[in-house]
Amino acid sequence: MGEMQETMTKEAKIAQIKREAAERINDICPSWKQSNLTARAVELNAIRHEREWNEQELTEWQSMLNIWQAIKQVRLDSDAAESAVNALQTIEEIEAFSW
């Protein structure tokens, strides 16, 4: 019985981590803006195949890469937090865990 309760607690904690990661990513860049950035990246890549980027386009590209790097870091951190939760042994450890 205790193992089942621990598993459910781990699942709940992981669900909490996933929700928080989604909120952190949304704070960095809402999904509508992510879609717009993806579309703009396609446009910039098409331009790059026709000519060199101008300074404004290069700056725009770098800004988009910085946003993507921040999102990837949240994903890496949340993956690590989920792994850490899975390695915990007691309900007390799971309940006390934060990231």
Q: Is the pLDDT of residue 97 over 50?
A: yes
Band of the pLDDT at 7, cuts 50, 70, 90?
Answer: low
Give the mean pLDDT of 73-94: 96
Structure confidence at residue 2 (pLDDT)? 55
Decide: residue 50, CB within 10 A, 0-12 exposed, 13-18 middle, 19+ buried.
Answer: exposed
Structure confidence at residue 4 (pLDDT)? 60
Distance CA(19)–CA(15), nearest Å, equals: 6
* Mean pLDDT (the chain, rounded): 94
Band of the pLDDT at 3, cuts 50, 70, 90?
Answer: low
